[in-house]
Structure 1
C-alpha cells in the first residue's frame, strides 16, 4: 500500500489540498487499490483516533483562547508587555514577542498567537515606523512559542503517542525552552532594530500607570498559573484544566473586564468549533495514515534500520533533527507527531535519551515547520490576516529561522533545559 499512499499524499498536497483531506484520500486510495480491506476501515480508524478522553482538552483550550480574545484580554496583555519594553530600541518588536509568549500561556496554539495578538501588533508596529513585512515575519517567528509554553495542544497529542511521558511533565518541560525561544527572538529583533534604526515609543510609563496596567492584566495572567499550577499539584487533570479555563475566561470577560457580552458568545463558540474541527480532522486522518504504515510494517522496518546503524544518542538526535526539519517543510506538527513519534520515541528510549528531552526536541522541530515554506501555516495565516504577499514575509524570515535553529541545537545538546523543571516538580 505504501507505493500508493506516499505518491498520492504528495500529489494531493502539491495540488493545494488541505493536509487532513490529502491524508484521508491517500489512505482511501491505498486501501482501495492495494489491499483487501473494506473502505469503511478508513472511517473506523479516523474515529478511533478521536475516541480519547484527553482529546477533549483540545476544543476546550481553543474555546478558552477565543473567549479570552473576545473579552479584550489581548489588548491588556499587549499593554502589559509594551510598558516594560516599548521605550527601548525596537520596543514594539519586543512587545510583539512578549505578548505572544503571554498569549501562548492561554491559547496553546501558534496559529491562535499569530491571528490574535500578532495581527494587532503588526498594525501597531507599522504605525511605529517598522517595515510591514518585517513586523509580519517577527509575528510568525514569535508565534512559534505557542505550542511550547503550556498549555499546548501539540503536547497533549504527543503524550497520547508516547506512554513514557505525561501531559503534566511535558507542560513543565516546555517552560524553559519556551522562554529561551522568547529570548532568542528578542535578541534577533534587537540586532535588526539597531541595524535598521527602529526606535522605541518614547519614555517609559510612570510607576502609577504601570501599576494600573499590570493590575488590569493580572486576571489574564492568572489563567496561566491556574492551569499549570493545578496540573502540577494534582488538583485536576489537563482535560479538567481545559474546562476550568473556559469558565475562568468566561468570568473574566463578562464580569472582570466587562467586554464580553452574551450576544458575542454564538460567534465565539462558532469560531472555536471551526478551529477545533480542523484540528480534530487532522488528528483523525493522521491516525488512519499511521494505521496503514503499521499494517505495512514501515515503523518496524525503519526502527530496525536505524538501530542497525548503531548511532550514539547525540548522532541519533542530530539525525532526528534533520529528518524533522525536512518533514516539517511539508507537514503540520500534529500529524507529524502522530506519524513519527510512535516510530522514533521507542528508539530514543532504547538509546537512553530522556523522554521529556526527546519530546521537546521533536515538538520544537515540528513547530518550526509552521514558519517555513512551502506549507508553513503561520506564513499564510499572517499574510491573509495582514493582507501581505507570502513572498514578502518569507524574505524577512531567515534571521529568525537561524536563531531558532541555534536554539534547537542548544536544546539538543543540553537535555537539562528540558528535564530539570519536570524533575524538581516530581513529574
Structure 2
C-alpha cells in the first residue's frame, strides 16, 4: 500500500494535479488497490478532518481580512508606512515592507498580502523608478511575513496537528521572528537602494501631518492587539477571537473609516467563501493522507530512523532546515504542516528541542518555499498580479531571499528569538 500511495502521489503531482486533489486521490487509489479497508473510509476521513471547532477560526479570520480590505485599509496603512519611512533613501521599498508587515497582522496569509496591497505598492514603486523585477521581488519577499505575524492560519493548523503547542503560544512566538524578517528586508532594501541610487520622491511630513496620519491608522493597527490581548486575558478563546475580529473589522470599516458600504458585503462574502473552501479542501485531503501514513506507520519508521542517526539537536535542525526548504518548493505550507509535523515534531521533542522554536522553524521553512525558485507558488501569484515576468522577478529575488534565510539561521541557533515572548506570558511548558 505504501508503494502505491507514494507512487500515485508523485505521479499526480508531477502531471500538474492540484495539491489538494493529489492528496485525496492518491489515498483513494492506495485504499482501492490494497483492499484491506473499505473505500468509504476516504469520505469518512474527509469529513472527520473538518470536524473540529478550532477550524472555525479560519473562515472568520479570512472574513475579517476581507472586511478590512473592503474598508480601504490598504490605503490607510500605506499612507502611514510612507509617512514613517517614505522620505528616506529607498523609501517606497521600505514602505512596501512596513505595509505588508502591518497588513500581516490582519490577513494571516502570504498570498492575500501579495495579491492585495502588494500589487498596489509594486505599481507605485515601478512608477517612481524602481526596477519592475525588484519591486515585484520585494512584494513577494515581504508577503512572507503574513503567516509569521499573528493572526496566522498556518499556526491554527499547526496547533491542531501538534498538541504540545497552543494557538496563543504560536501567535506570540511569531511576533519576534516576523519583525526580524521585516528588519532584514529593510536593511537589504537600504543596501540595494544606495547601490542603485533609488531616491525617494516623498517629502518628510510635518509633525502635525504625521500625527493625523498615525491617528487614522490606529483603528487598523489595533486589531492584532485586540486578538492577542483578548486571548491572553482569557476574555475569549482563539476561535472566539476570530469572530471578534470580524465584528471589529466591520465596525471599523463601517463607522470609523466609513468606506465599508452595504453594497460591498456580498462580494466580500463570496471571496471569503471561495478562499475558505480552498483551505478546507486542503485540510480535509491532508487529513486523509495523514491517516494513510499513520496506518502504514510511516511516521514511526521515519522517527526511529532519525533518532538512530544520533544527530543531536543542532544536527537534527540543520537536516530539517535543508529538507523543509526543498520540500516547501513543491508543497504548499498547509498540507506540508499536516503531513510533516506528526512525523518530525515527536523527534524534535525527543532530542530536546523546544516545541515553539521547532514550530517557528517549520512554519518559516515551508513559507520560504513559496518564494524559492523554480516552483514557489507565491512567485507565480506575484508575477500575475504585478504583471512582471517571472524571470525578471527571480533575478532580483536572491539577496532578499538570502536575508530571510539568515533570519532562519538565527532562529535555529538562538531559541530565545522564538521562545522569549511566549515565556514572558507563561506559554512555555
Q: Unpaired runs of 5+ in structure 2?
A: none
2:304 matched residue in structure 1: 304
Matched, 1:122 2:122: yes
Report SS of the residue matched to 1:148: coil
Query: What's the CA shift for 1:390?
Result: 2.1
| Structure 1 residues 278-297: aligned runs within 5 Å | 278-297=278-297
Query: What's the CA shift for 1:396?
Result: 1.6
2:259 matched residue in structure 1: 259
Aligned residues of 1:88 and 1:201 also touching (Cα < 8 A)? no
CA distance in 1, matches of 2:32, 2:390: 37
| Structure 1 residues 232-243: aligned runs within 5 Å | 232-243=232-243
Please list every run of at least 4 consecutive aligned residues from structure 1 whose deviation after the TM superposition is greater than 6 angstroms: none
1:221 matched residue in structure 2: 221
1:25 matched residue in structure 2: 25
Matched, 1:59 2:38: no
| Structure 1 residues 7-406: aligned runs within 5 Å | 7-406=7-406
CA distance in 1, matches of 2:388, 2:368: 21
Query: What's the CA shift for 1:388?
Result: 2.5
CA distance in 2, matches of 1:4, 1:129: 53
CA distance in 2, matches of 1:202, 1:215: 20
CA distance in 2, matches of 1:400, 1:373: 13
Range with greater deviation from structure 2 (17-26 or 51-60): 17-26
Range with greater deviation from structure 2 (343-352 or 26-35): 26-35
Query: What's the CA shift for 1:188?
Result: 1.2
Query: What's the CA shift for 1:418?
Result: 0.5
Aligned residues of 1:331 and 1:375 also touching (Cα < 8 A)? no
CA distance in 2, matches of 1:177, 1:321: 16
Query: What's the CA shift for 1:349?
Result: 1.0
For each residue in 1:332-384, what CA deviation from the matched residue of structure 2 results, as whole angstroms up to 9, or x when unmatched?
Answer: 11111101111111111111111111111111111101112343221111112
CA distance in 2, matches of 1:78, 1:259: 16
Range with greater deviation from structure 2 (36-45 or 87-96): 36-45
Query: What's the CA shift for 1:26?
Result: 1.2
Query: What's the CA shift for 1:156?
Result: 0.6
CA distance in 2, matches of 1:425, 1:351: 25
CA distance in 2, matches of 1:333, 1:125: 29
* Residue 45 to residue 188, structure 1, CA distance change in 2 (3 Å): same
Number of residue equivalences? 427
CA distance in 2, matches of 1:12, 1:80: 46
Report SS of the residue matched to 2:163: coil
Query: What's the CA shift for 1:278?
Result: 0.7
For each residue in 1:103-143, what CA deviation from the matched residue of structure 2 results, as whole angstroms up to 9, or x when unmatched?
Answer: 00001111111111111101110111111111111000000
Query: What's the CA shift for 1:10?
Result: 2.1
Report SS of the residue matched to 1:335: helix
* TM-score normalised per structure 1: 0.98
Aligned residues of 1:330 and 1:374 also touching (Cα < 8 A)? no
CA distance in 1, matches of 2:374, 2:50: 28
CA distance in 1, matches of 2:17, 2:97: 32
What RMSD in Å do the two structures reach over aligned CA positions? 1.0
CA distance in 2, matches of 1:274, 1:373: 27
Q: Unpaired runs of 5+ in structure 1?
A: none
Query: What's the CA shift for 1:225?
Result: 1.0
CA distance in 2, matches of 1:57, 1:424: 25
Aligned residues of 1:185 and 1:400 also touching (Cα < 8 A)? yes
Aligned residues of 1:136 and 1:382 also touching (Cα < 8 A)? yes
Range with greater deviation from structure 2 (368-377 or 257-266): 368-377
Query: What's the CA shift for 1:393?
Result: 1.4
Report SS of the residue matched to 2:49: helix
CA distance in 2, matches of 1:280, 1:334: 10
CA distance in 2, matches of 1:136, 1:145: 15
Report SS of the residue matched to 2:330: coil
